[in-house]
Structure 1
């Protein structure tokens, strides 16, 4: 198997002086990271499985890279995880050690594990061996826990094969090279922030600059000083669009505009980016944000190509090596134009299964080997995929129609009086489900009338898609990735 992180094989090789990762004023070259990770790999080689207290710091990068180089599976832990969820993850994954920074305060439950301190400011011992054997392609690289929206979180076992396949497919789609400098501020305990955002640049021999905490001025600073790519979630791009609008005429706005205009790629993922924000950013910068579609169990499935046509509202065609189809609830494969069905995928990007859950693994796959994503979408004649939403929360069956929440949300977001919106279905004795819009008004003291909003949807889409109920909120509930938690609204 090709080495997962080839640029780190030698601390004195030709790439040693190149910057690998930067967090604030602390920069790690490939030589620094090779030596530090090799020394740490030797300390944990017999650990069996390790947990990493995944703070947005260089210590997390060193810890994860060391474990991968030692062939030891990594369980990234969200530092904001609650006590009961953390206890479940530890009991289920059974790590023998936890890797954390010198200043990290670990919660109860981790004290029984061997504590391994990782300090990015402390030089690794000289003379550490630089010859580390690679594990096999099917050996687990990471065990990443799902959000647990339908029960206790499940550990998705991601083999090295899946990590390499997804990152190489993105290299093909985006022309990703060692010259790229990626800017992001995503958490490092999930696929988007850790695998794409950290391992992606390292596999290419490029660089990642992590902001620590997202801010428009941080994005402007790093993209304006050599950054070529930006990875973010819709909440971040919404805030960038707001900054471009709100800083009109200011030096800060001009700096942000120049930085975004000069980026090679602006990529959004983890949830759908509203068309309204697509258009605002494009109007201000002349650059289009592109989207891709993936999930914990599959890594990356589709993506707009760098040399392809940007199409707001879609997530592009399947990536190299990925097969994708739509299916009805009874398993019927859908291939007619405009069909709406569950997205199912297969390919080298898939996980090997849920840890300790053969029942859940079997239930997540069809009898002919396709993974059931639980997402609903459509496929254009040219292969571009549009995500309608999650089957459980975003597909509304009302009056005999299948209605996708996303298209209604995009229409409402284009109303100047709507700052944020979420659309859900609610049980209705006549319709089966009725459409409900949860609205955060631009001016809370003067929200747009409900009738005005429902009429807008009926005029732009179709009368049966109009919300039957409009509810006003001060804010929408969101998780750590900025995704709207629709189950909380429905509850």
Structure 2
């Protein structure tokens, strides 16, 4: 029996019971969101039931799929939970995708309904928006798989992959978070910055927050001052959850006020240079924690206290190994929709394409960058990750991407005016000549994915360069 008294739907994604027990359980008066208007658990349940009725009337059935193309909003949250309560599959499409990208995804995945904004969304820098929705019937076909959620990878190194995760897999990850030392607990707040369309914001933010009874607080705007205001808006301990891009927003605040409630910041995505983490911790007096994960698996390892940087501790229940320098994660089935690619998953192991090392004494894992970052220059091996890391230590360099495009090429974004010749001279003091970029190209803004990761696709970088 579920929260609305109906019989549990026996749909392919387990139906309503897991949503009620794992995400929506608890006292009706518990605050789930502050937008800044508080949304308590009772109100959230009512909104989800209303959305569920609307989706059913539009043709969504147990075992069917609904594509959600919505910006961060209560509309996104309530439609997502409603799809799952119906026993349906949620296909998450970032609202920033082009119409062409959305059309290709919908044609491939064939949802029963598509939920979109009912008109233009003037979001600007807002992190959460008010949006009216339109639900369009698309097909009468059931979902092609039994996955509860289908996501597109961030595509930082090329085309996105289509990834599916079951309800059991999502529940397991939510419970995994509860066993990680340093995560927010009931009575605390999460300042939510990453998109809930992608795994960090979806599971590490939304799902874990609902399960653990943590208040989710999106800032009014995606600026450093607004993030600080969100931290200061309550007395309970606050953890900022984001990606490395958001560190820069907080770093841009000239003189932040005293924030005794600021507990820590935790970032997923790219490795954070030690100079950046050190400057952040000096400025705010709180640890900068690190989280490593993949859309395919969710959280893999963490260092929430910043004690082992750049190494991480594997999350509870995660089994890792290193084969020929590549990090593998145990996973019983392929996460990819369609034919399984043995270069990505085989024999119960997911190939991460990340170079890694496991310390035999401590079990700590160090991520050494992408395997495809290792190139040969004149017969000598060069790790582009090392070059990129060194570029990021130079004065004036806000961010850098180093690729091999016939030769080593660096694309940099600066935070102060510097000549390329001066940058190259500084780099000559730090790297052997065969490791140094043959070309340094300055961009006003480096291309990033929708999750804030730097794009390393050479075609995209060439197009963005002046």
Bin the TM-score by the shorter chain: 0.7 to 0.9
**Alignment match, 1:293:** 292
Question: Is the counterpart of residue 114 in structure 1 residue 137 in structure 2?
Answer: yes
**Alignment match, 1:342:** 326
**Alignment match, 1:379:** 358
8 Å contact 1:412–1:453 — kept in the other structure? no
**Alignment match, 1:423:** 402
Q: What CA distance in whole angstroms lies between the structure 2 residues aligned with 1:400 and 1:5?
A: 59
> Once the 2 structures are TM-superposed, how far is the Cα of residue 233 of structure 1 from its aligned partner?
0.9
Please give the per-residue CA displacement for 1:339-393, whole angstroms capped at 9, x wherever unaligned: xx22110147xx75322x1243x44213x3100112222333423323222233x
**Alignment match, 1:54:** 70
Q: What CA distance in whole angstroms lies between the structure 1 residues aligned with 2:188 and 2:20?
A: 16
**Alignment match, 1:18:** 30
> Once the 2 structures are TM-superposed, how far is the Cα of residue 485 of structure 1 from its aligned partner?
1.2
Q: What CA distance in whole angstroms lies between the structure 2 residues aligned with 1:268 and 1:451?
A: 30
Long gaps (5+) in structure 2? 1-13, 123-132, 139-144
> Once the 2 structures are TM-superposed, how far is the Cα of residue 5 of structure 1 from its aligned partner?
5.0
Q: What CA distance in whole angstroms lies between the structure 1 residues aligned with 2:135 and 2:188?
A: 41
Q: 1:201 aligns with which of 204, 209, 212?
A: 209
**Alignment match, 1:353:** 335
- Written as runs of structure 1 = structure 2, the 5 A alignment for 1:84-233 is 84-101=100-117, 113-114=136-137, 139-148=146-155, 153-173=160-180, 174-211=182-219, 213-226=221-234, 228-233=238-243
Please give the per-residue CA displacement for 1:385-420, whole angstroms capped at 9, x wherever unaligned: 23222233x333335554433333333322223232
Please give the per-residue CA displacement for 1:202-240, whole angstroms capped at 9, x wherever unaligned: 121222111254111121111122351111111110222
Q: What CA distance in whole angstroms lies between the structure 1 residues aligned with 2:386 and 2:418?
A: 27
Q: What CA distance in whole angstroms lies between the structure 2 residues aligned with 1:418 and 1:8?
A: 42
Long gaps (5+) in structure 1? 116-137, 248-252, 329-340, 428-433
**Alignment match, 1:317:** 313
Please give the per-residue CA displacement for 1:17-62, whole angstroms capped at 9, x wherever unaligned: 1111233x44311000112112322443543111112211111111
8 Å contact 2:218–2:230 — kept in the other structure? no
**Alignment match, 2:7:** none
8 Å contact 1:186–1:192 — kept in the other structure? yes
Q: 2:87 aligns with which of 57, 71, 83?
A: 71
**Using a 3 Å threshold, how does the CA distance of structure 1 residues 400 and 22 change in structure 2: closer, same or farther?**
farther
**Using a 3 Å threshold, how does the CA distance of structure 1 residues 152 and 281 change in structure 2: closer, same or farther?**
closer
Q: What CA distance in whole angstroms lies between the structure 2 residues aligned with 1:373 and 1:38?
A: 39
**Alignment match, 1:364:** 344
Question: Is the counterpart of residue 40 in structure 1 residue 36 in structure 2?
Answer: no
> Once the 2 structures are TM-superposed, how far is the Cα of residue 103 of structure 1 from its aligned partner?
5.2
Question: Is the counterpart of residue 475 in structure 1 residue 445 in structure 2?
Answer: yes
- Compute the RMSD of aligned alpha carbons: 3.0
Query: What secondary structure is seen at the aligned counterpart in 2 of 1:177?
Result: coil
Question: Is the counterpart of residue 436 in structure 1 residue 424 in structure 2?
Answer: no
Moved over 6 A (4+): none
Query: What secondary structure is seen at the aligned counterpart in 2 of 1:63?
Result: helix
> Once the 2 structures are TM-superposed, how far is the Cα of residue 169 of structure 1 from its aligned partner?
1.7
Query: What secondary structure is seen at the aligned counterpart in 2 of 1:140?
Result: coil
Q: 2:244 aligns with which of 214, 225, 234?
A: 234
Task: Give the structure-2-normalised TM-score.
Answer: 0.81
Query: What secondary structure is seen at the aligned counterpart in 1 of 2:453?
Result: coil
Query: What secondary structure is seen at the aligned counterpart in 2 of 1:254?
Result: coil
> Once the 2 structures are TM-superposed, how far is the Cα of residue 241 of structure 1 from its aligned partner?
1.9
Please give the per-residue CA displacement for 1:225-284, whole angstroms capped at 9, x wherever unaligned: 2351111111110222232xxx1xxxxx232xx33x642231011222222210101112
> Once the 2 structures are TM-superposed, how far is the Cα of residue 9 of structure 1 from its aligned partner?
4.9
